[in-house]
Amino acid sequence: MELSAIKFDEHGLVPAVAQDAKTGAVLMLAYMNEESLRRTIDTGYATYYSRSRKTLWKKGETSGHVQRVREILYDCDGDTLLLKVVQTGAACHTGAYSCFQNALLAPQETEANPGAKVLQEVYNVVLDRMANPKEGSYTNYLLDKGVEKIAKKVGEEATETVIAAIKNDKDETCYEASDLLYHLLVLLAQRGITLDEIWTELASRR
C-alpha cells in the first residue's frame, strides 16, 4: 500500500476530518499515524491515533458508535485527510451528532433569510434523530418506516395543502404547508440531500 503522497508531520501524524458520507455534515477531527491509516484502509473502519494516550483507537470500539469508511481523500498538499464515513450513533463523545456544535462566529441574520434558518434548524433536528433515535419521536417513526412511508406522507400533505389553497383558507393552507415542509425535510435527510444542495439548485433557476 503506497502512502507516499501523505505528508505526516514531525510527530508522524496527519489530521483526519470525518464527514458523514450521506449528509455531508462534518463530524469530527482526529489524528492518524501511518499504522492507524493502514489499519483503517485494511479493516474499513476508522482507526485514529490518540496523542494523549500515545496509542491507536478504533472509533466506537467501546461505545459502538463506529465509523464505516466509504472513501478516503487527501488535500492538495497531502497533509490533511478527509474520511467519508457511515456513522453509527453519535460522533461526539458528548452524545451529539457532530463535535462541531459551538458557534464562534454565527451566520449574520438578515430579514432575507430567517426562513432558511428555521428550515435548517428543523433539518438539523431530523439529522439528530437519525443519529440519536428518541423513543416516541414521530420523526424516528417515519425514519424507521423508510422512504416509501415518508414519500407517501409528503404526497398526502401536498394534496391537503392544495385542497386548503383551493378552499381559500389562509390559516389552513399555512398549517398544511408547514406539515408539507416538515415531511419534505425528513425525506431530504433520509435521502442524504442537504439544504445547501436545494439552495444551489434553486439559485440556478433564477
Summarize pLDDT for 86-122 with one digit per residue, the tens. 999 889 988 888 898 787 876 665 555 567 788 988 9
pLDDT digits (tens, 9 = 90+) for 49-78: 999 999 999 999 999 999 999 999 999 999
User: How many whole angstroms separate alpha carbon 132 and alpha carbon 101?
Assistant: 15
Q: One-letter amino acid identity for 183?
A: H
* Structural contact between residues 190 and 143, judged by C-beta atoms closer than 8 angstroms: yes
Per-residue pLDDT at 114: 67
Q: 52 is written with which cell numbers?
A: 494523549
Per-residue pLDDT at 109: 54
Q: 106 is written with which cell numbers?
A: 454565527
Assess whether pLDDT exceeds 70 at residue 29: yes
As a whole number, mean pLDDT of residues 144-172 equals 96
What percent of the chain has pLDDT above 90? 73
Per-residue pLDDT at 22: 80
Per-residue pLDDT at 108: 61
What is the number of residues in the chain?
Answer: 206
Selected residue with higher pLDDT from 177 and 204: 177
* Structural contact between residues 115 and 102, judged by C-beta atoms closer than 8 angstroms: no
Selected residue with higher pLDDT from 203 and 165: 165
- Compute the mean pLDDT over every residue in the chain, rounded to the nearest whole number: 91
Closest CA to 17 of 101, 63, 75, 57: 75
Per-residue pLDDT at 196: 82
Per-residue pLDDT at 110: 53
CA distance between the termini of the chain: 48
Alpha helices of 24-78 — where are they, by DSSP H?
A: 34-43
pLDDT band at 176 (very low <50, low <70, confident <90, very high): very high
Global pTM value: 0.57
pLDDT digits (tens, 9 = 90+) for 120-142: 889 999 999 998 999 999 999 99
User: How many whole angstroms separate alpha carbon 81 and alpha carbon 31?
Assistant: 9
* Structural contact between residues 85 and 47, judged by C-beta atoms closer than 8 angstroms: no
User: How many whole angstroms separate alpha carbon 13 and alpha carbon 49?
Assistant: 8
